[in-house]
Amino acid sequence: MVSQEKLNRLFWHSRRGMLELDLLLVPFVQEHYVLIDKADQDRYDTLITEEDQDLFAWLMKRTPANNSENQIIIDLILERSNLK
């Protein structure tokens, strides 16, 4: 079970100030984070520590993620995106 405090923290860390990132990350946290398994939650927690420029490139499919763990969660975010 994910605490409301952790969800609040994730929400604010997911707001990056770049519209493209915000449109993908914030809804993912709000709608999907509590539904994914612990391994994917851990992947997301790690992903949001990355630099905005890297996240943008990965989420816009300009370059593959820097490692397989980040690529797994990137693919999951894009799969569950409302922006298809």
* Model pLDDT for residues 14-63, shown as the tens digit of each residue: 999 999 999 999 999 999 999 999 999 999 999 999 999 999 999 999 99
Residue 25 forms part of a structural domain: yes
Structural domains counted in the chain: 1
Give me the CATH number covering residue 49.
Answer: 1.10.150.250
Give the global pTM. 0.93
Residue 84 forms part of a structural domain: no
DSSP assignment of 15-72 equals --S-HHHHHHHHHHHHHTGGGS-HHHHHHHHHHTTS-HHHHHHHHTTSS--SSHHHHH
Domain hosting 52: range is 4-79
Residue 69 forms part of a structural domain: yes
